[in-house]
Structure 1
Amino acid sequence: MNLCFIFCLISTSLVFTFVSAGSNVTYDSRSLIIDGQRKLLISAAIHYPRSVPAMWPGLVQTAKQGGVDVIETYVFWNGHELSPGNYYFGGRFDLVKFAKIVHEARMYLILRIGPFVAAEWNYGGVPVWLHYIPGTVFRTYNQPFMYHMEKFTAYIVNLMKQEKLFASQGGPIILSQIENEYGFYENYYKEDGKKYALWAAKMAVSQNTSVPWIMCQQWDAPDPVIDTCNSFYCDQFTPTSPNRPKIWTENWPGWFKTFGGRDPHRPVEDVAFSVARFFQKGGSVHNYYMYHGGTNFGRTAGGPFITTSYDYDAPIDEYGLPRLPKWGHLKELHKAIKLCEHLLLHGKSVNTSLGPSVEASVYTDSTGACAAFISNSDDKNDKTVEFRNASYHLPAWSVSILPDCKNVVFNTAKVSSPTNKVAMVPEKLQQSDKSQKTFKWDVLKENPGIWGEADFVKNGFVDHINTTKDTTDYLWHTTSILIGKNDEFLKKGSEPVLVIESKGHALHAFVNQKYQGTAYGNGSHSPFTFKNPISLKAGKNEIALLSLTVGLQTAGPFYEFVGAGVTSVKINGLNNKTIDLSSNAWTYKIGVQGEHQRLHLVDGLNNTKWTSTSEAPKGQALTWYKAIVDAPPGDEPVGLDMLYMGKGLAWLNGEEIGRYWPRLSEFKKEDCVEECDYRGKFNPDKCVTGCGEPTQRWYHVPRSWFKPSGNVLVFFEEKGGDPTKITFARRKVV
């Protein structure tokens, strides 16, 4: 997931756009030091491929207006190295353009090269092709993995050098990452893992960037590597070396969602409490993960079952709008902390207990200047305390900031920022051809099962991921069974039961071309069982199974070896017997036909025969829909309302909107809250909403993807829905 990481100070210097020379970057026990000046830094995670280039300037400026100094992003290996040595840096993956936009905004940049990132991103950001290079084991002291990891890391470092983006060259990059939260997993890899972690650190240093390194959750980080923290709370974190600054690499202001899961929210009072406590306890670099979560466009969502939305309940929402009061309250917090910056970084500190759960941290210098943080960590009771001959009221679970040790300029529990309410205002699809009196759809129905020539035939089952290599979500399995016309169950009119077992992630079942139902798993390995009565006829009966992946594993020890797919197929109640089809000859086909015909692209194969209709079929599985539409009016962000569809993929003008699946949350009503109590330590199940509702109803379609008219909107519906109820929605502050 968004887990912690190993940073490196890629450059020994930094400068903004208005300075022509580079600046030296070092550190001591208090902070990073830039050109001889200690710096207190507030950073915001914004992942460039989870938005689009047209959004980047606005996102960066909104973060800056929120009191942020630094933008942080991962580098997504599998988005850049599409096959060995085949690199891509266009569109949403234009890393150089993103870095230059940060530079133009006169902000710093943290570049988390990884190149393993986790981050709820498909396969943790590692290219799937790497798993199929013989002998490769991810994130271990393994020569094939280390070779390709070092090669990609060097490529990114050299690209940044060529574009003069490191601080020493006058660019914005002050920090960079190698690996990602390895300390969580090295015990699984044992001594091999320790060797790999040490190698990774040495490899990064060898990139000729003259850098100190930072490694998150690497409790035995070797010198000169600095260990850092990521969590909901890092105030008690202490670096293993007294000569290293206290850095919080990930503070989670919300959490991600999964299809069928809950909708978690972290109250801003608690986020502010955690940040204020971190700086109260001597922290100097703080990063929000995420500040803008964005969207997992296309098939980039990991999982299984990570939603297309990666909103994260972040200060800037998925569509690029400030989330109030969260954004505004944190902006005021940042102002208050900055008022204390000099004393936090240069003053002497004294911590004093003012009573149970109440603590004052006082920073002073030789001039007599004074700043104080007074915290009440009681999660139930307000407190009134005496501090320097004055009385102060402290709400439960709050921190008061006093830049002069007298006047409270900010309390984390007192929210004065306005609250905005955001609505998704529906807009009917408007077709571009105004000569048509009724809305026209182009429709193409696929037949269940094998299309064209089979890819292969095999007795028994194959692993889904090893077969598709993640080139598609889809893998067809077909077999047949002969039924005699005198079989007993036909005479009785009884229906046998099709029973399918799978280790993930989902499947759609068809018998004799008829859709029988869908099943899917839960949890990291997603095992599930499909059971459904089926009708069989005398003679040959075809059973066709469309196995699905819904995002690959993103992290964990040896996660690349976690498989998926069908493991058993039986028919119960066939003449009072169970027939096991598992060892049958199964015919396989990778992908669905429309993918191969490029129906989702504007330049799809010209010989594809769409059927035009004013009455689009409803409830029909394996169906492609296409409409030519106008852009929604106005300039607000746009979502696509897919509430009445089943499951599938969507595109606009060939751009991948992503997987849609209005799957209902399986959490019970009593698991949700109407109002969240911010007091006390947070966890992702504390403040959940959306129980019994679709986990994701609206799907972000960036405005920059639209033309005024003639927009090609394409859907592939797997199980059946009602396309006539699809609408756009403008995200509007009301």
Structure 2
Amino acid sequence: KPRQAMKLLSSPQLIISRFFCLCFYLTLSFAANNVTYDRRSLIIDGQRKLLISASIHYPRSVPAMWPKLVKTAKEGGVDVIETYVFWNGHELSPGNVRYYFGGRYDLVKFVKIVQQARLYLILRIGPFVAAEWNFGGVPVWLHYVPGTVFRTDNEPFKHYMQNFTTLIVNMMKQEKLFASQGGPIILAQASEALHVEVENEYGFYETAYGEGGKAYALWAAKMALSQNVGVPWIMCQQFDAPEPVINTCNSFYCDQFTPSSPNSPKIWTENWPGWFRTFGGRSPHRPPEDVAYSVARFFQKGGSVQNYYMYHGGTNFGRTSGGPFITTSYDYDAPIDEYGLARLPKWGHLKELHRAIKLCEHALLNNEPTLVSLGLLQEADIYSDGSGDCAAFIANMDDKNEKVVEFQNMSYSLPAWSVSILPDCKRVVFNTAKKNGIVSELFYGGTDTWTRMFGLTESSPEKLNVDIMQIHVGSQTSLVEMVPQDLQPPSTSTDKDLKALQWGVFVEKAGIWGKADFVKNGFVDHINTTKDTTDYLWYTTRLDLLCTT
């Protein structure tokens, strides 16, 4: 994750990143879309688009939840749904022998649900996704293919990576999901691919692989372009992405991000509205005001596409969680909680933010900004054509003090660490630090990412640890009717009904080597020993004491 955050943490638990991803931005249309871009935005059929995106991973929720999750996201002002494709959930064995796309892994069904909601979709193929997912989404069997080295200029890895990428691309083509195809969208309002991503955050690791890393990154870009999907490609955190591939930002704040090419738009693929949970750790909470501040600043500074990672985190079912001590819950303090309910006040606060930003869309995407200094840590960006089309963002970057500023002959009060949005350059319709017109007391001092994210003081014992204290802000609530359910089956129950009320027991194999135990000096590599069939290894030792009188 962000380098400045890593420096503050003594625990290795947070040194996890989402690595390798291929993404498709999919859009609904009644005909084939012409998708291009320039330095300011994506352009679809000649129209500039400002897009708010929401990550929802299909295997982290059950199919019955998908329609409601997508609906709740849309009601929250979202234009786009984003998901990874989890390689190890689909390719169960090598050589095109076993593929699985059923149940929670029914990718096409998920895409079509998004299509029916008339939303865009971002499909991130990977194939190495990390995502706090077991083995980063890579099938464990690939670890045992002779000569394989991951994520470098290695022929076995590139071979299987290209095979899976091509499989997913062809599946999308077969379902007529690319913007360049049109296909069933004319009648069925189907989703179509609008934008594609290859490689995620590889720039942080490329130098460790030397020349092999650079060669691999270039190969990945060329491989992606060779798929001929008819839409642009992007690479997350890839600072040397070759044109026409667009590099994008992943962080808590991306307002200062600049694409590597002056011809590319400013895209934020991962804005983290919270954090993952760990066993034994406290539940991280990022205040909604801080999330809103980061989004407003991004669009204030020329952003055009922003994605929340996660908007609904969901659940790590079975043994899918990966990384040090990652819990079954992948709630992520997201706007939609693990169980599919809107998390208030976060969901509602961001909904109002999205509405305010959309009021500025035309001015933002069709005019160049004028920066006006209003103080040491206060500034305004004005987007105007001089003939009436005008939008302004006024920011107070002081995280401790409220400020009153003079802007265009009017006075504006700015709470600490906030942005006010003026879609007509006069009237404030939204301030990121105010919920329902009330200013929330967010911060207790400090200027680093984790202080802002979790409300920690400089003296907090958790300051340098993943065990972040949880704070609650705001007063927005939701009324939920609780309906009791009789757990005793009625007299008309079938055997299936009775079975649903019974506990299930899973008996794990004692070992995979034909015997339950073996002797070894020191600890063993877990994956090589278990071949990823179990999370558990039991160690026993013996201590002989020589007693003398």
In the superposition, the TM-score normalised over structure 1's length comes to 0.61
Q: Shift in Å at residue 471 of structure 1?
A: 1.8
Aligned to 1:133: 145
1:463 partnered with 2:520 = no
Aligned to 1:163: 175
Select which of 286, 299, 302 maps to 1:266. 286
Deviation string, structure 1 residues 679-733 (Cα, Å, up to 9, x no partner): xxxxxxxxxxxxxxxxxxxxxxxxxxxxxxxxxxxxxxxxxxxxxxxxxxxxxxx
Aligned to 1:119: 131
Q: Give runs of aligned pairs for residues 378-457 of structure 1, distance below 5 A.
A: 378-416=398-436, 419-420=476-477, 430=487, 432=489, 454=515, 457=518
2:434 alignment partner AA: K
Distance in 2 between residues matched to 1:282 and 1:324, nearest whole Å: 29
Q: Is the 8 A contact 2:511 2:517 kept in 1?
A: no
Select which of 262, 281, 284 maps to 1:242. 262
Q: Is the 8 A contact 2:20 2:128 kept in 1?
A: no
Q: Is the 8 A contact 1:44 1:72 kept in 2?
A: yes
Q: Is the 8 A contact 1:290 1:314 kept in 2?
A: yes
Aligned to 1:275: 295
Select which of 56, 61, 70 maps to 1:46. 56
Select which of 163, 180, 205 maps to 2:200. 180
1:290 alignment partner AA: M
Cα RMSD for the two superposed structures: 2.9
Distance in 1 between residues matched to 2:67 and 2:534, nearest whole Å: 33
Aligned to 2:223: 203
Change (3 A) 1:445 1:376: closer
Q: Give runs of aligned pairs for residues 634-653 of structure 1, distance below 5 A.
A: none
Distance in 2 between residues matched to 1:72 and 1:122, nearest whole Å: 20
Q: Is the 8 A contact 2:20 2:127 kept in 1?
A: no
Distance in 2 between residues matched to 1:309 and 1:259, nearest whole Å: 10
1:142 alignment partner AA: N
Q: Give runs of aligned pairs for residues 367-378 of structure 1, distance below 5 A.
A: 367-378=387-398
Q: Is the 8 A contact 1:48 1:98 kept in 2?
A: yes
Distance in 2 between residues matched to 1:404 and 1:223, nearest whole Å: 36
Change (3 A) 1:67 1:418: farther
Distance in 1 between residues matched to 2:172 and 2:341, nearest whole Å: 30
Change (3 A) 1:408 1:441: closer
Q: Is the 8 A contact 2:24 2:121 kept in 1?
A: no
1:206 alignment partner AA: S
1:3 partnered with 2:65 = no
Select which of 243, 246, 258 maps to 1:226. 246
Q: Shift in Å at residue 369 of structure 1?
A: 1.9
Q: Give runs of aligned pairs for residues 2-21 of structure 1, distance below 5 A.
A: 3=18, 14-16=27-29, 19=30, 21=31
Distance in 2 between residues matched to 1:448 and 1:47, nearest whole Å: 30
Select which of 107, 125, 128 maps to 1:95. 107
In terms of fraction of residues, the more helix-rich structure is 2
Deviation string, structure 1 residues 389-417 (Cα, Å, up to 9, x no partner): 11100000000000111100000000118
Q: Shift in Å at residue 277 of structure 1?
A: 0.3
Q: Shift in Å at residue 190 of structure 1?
A: 1.3
Select which of 557, 560, 575 maps to 2:547. 575
Higher mean alpha-carbon deviation, 399-408 vs 415-424, is at 415-424
* Structure 1 counterpart SS, 2:315: coil
Q: Shift in Å at residue 573 of structure 1?
A: 3.8
Select which of 21, 32, 45 maps to 1:35. 45
Q: Give runs of aligned pairs for residues 566-645 of structure 1, distance below 5 A.
A: 569-571=541-543, 573=545, 575=547
Q: Shift in Å at residue 473 of structure 1?
A: 2.3
Higher mean alpha-carbon deviation, 441-450 vs 347-356, is at 441-450
Deviation string, structure 1 residues 166-196 (Cα, Å, up to 9, x no partner): 1223333222322221011112111110110
Q: Is the 8 A contact 2:180 2:229 kept in 1?
A: no
In terms of fraction of residues, the more strand-rich structure is 1
* Structure 2 counterpart SS, 1:288: strand
1:27 alignment partner AA: Y
What percent identity do the matched residue pairs reach? 69
Distance in 2 between residues matched to 1:434 and 1:299, nearest whole Å: 37
Q: Is the 8 A contact 1:5 1:215 kept in 2?
A: no
Count matched residues.
478
Distance in 2 between residues matched to 1:447 and 1:52, nearest whole Å: 24
Select which of 51, 62, 82 maps to 1:72. 82
Select which of 316, 321, 344 maps to 1:301. 321
Q: Is the 8 A contact 2:39 2:262 kept in 1?
A: yes
Q: Is the 8 A contact 2:313 2:334 kept in 1?
A: yes
Aligned to 1:605: none
Distance in 2 between residues matched to 1:473 and 1:91, nearest whole Å: 23
Q: Shift in Å at residue 36 of structure 1?
A: 0.7
Higher mean alpha-carbon deviation, 414-423 vs 346-355, is at 414-423
1:454 alignment partner AA: K
Q: Shift in Å at residue 240 of structure 1?
A: 1.6
1:52 alignment partner AA: V
1:235 alignment partner AA: D
Distance in 1 between residues matched to 2:80 and 2:505, nearest whole Å: 48
2:314 alignment partner AA: G
Distance in 1 between residues matched to 2:502 and 2:209, nearest whole Å: 54
Aligned to 2:357: 337
Distance in 2 between residues matched to 1:445 and 1:67, nearest whole Å: 42
Aligned to 2:185: none
Radius of gyration: which is bigger? 1
Deviation string, structure 1 residues 491-542 (Cα, Å, up to 9, x no partner): xxxxxxxxxxxxxxxx4x6xxxxxxxxxxxxxxxxxxxxxxxxxxxxxxxxx
Distance in 1 between residues matched to 2:354 and 2:371, nearest whole Å: 22
Distance in 2 between residues matched to 1:320 and 1:469, nearest whole Å: 34
Select which of 140, 143, 154 maps to 2:155. 143
Q: Shift in Å at residue 574 of structure 1?
A: 5.4
Q: Shift in Å at residue 162 of structure 1?
A: 0.5
Change (3 A) 1:261 1:423: farther
Distance in 1 between residues matched to 2:507 and 2:271, nearest whole Å: 46
Change (3 A) 1:453 1:135: closer
Deviation string, structure 1 residues 287-313 (Cα, Å, up to 9, x no partner): 000000000011000023100000000
Q: Shift in Å at residue 422 of structure 1?
A: 8.6
Aligned to 1:315: 335
Q: Shift in Å at residue 225 of structure 1?
A: 1.6
1:139 alignment partner AA: R
2:515 alignment partner AA: A
Aligned to 2:470: none
Deviation string, structure 1 residues 33-52 (Cα, Å, up to 9, x no partner): 00011100000000000001
Q: Is the 8 A contact 1:71 1:107 kept in 2?
A: yes
1:469 alignment partner AA: K
Q: Shift in Å at residue 441 of structure 1?
A: 8.2
1:189 partnered with 2:212 = no
Q: Is the 8 A contact 2:25 2:122 kept in 1?
A: no
Change (3 A) 1:449 1:168: closer
Distance in 1 between residues matched to 2:419 and 2:278, nearest whole Å: 33
Q: Shift in Å at residue 450 of structure 1?
A: 7.9
List alignment gaps of at least 5 residues for structure 2: 1-15, 183-190, 437-473, 493-500
* Structure 2 counterpart SS, 1:571: coil
* Structure 2 counterpart SS, 1:179: strand
Change (3 A) 1:31 1:297: same
2:231 alignment partner AA: V
Distance in 1 between residues matched to 2:511 and 2:312, nearest whole Å: 42
Higher mean alpha-carbon deviation, 116-125 vs 212-221, is at 212-221
Select which of 343, 350, 359 maps to 2:370. 350
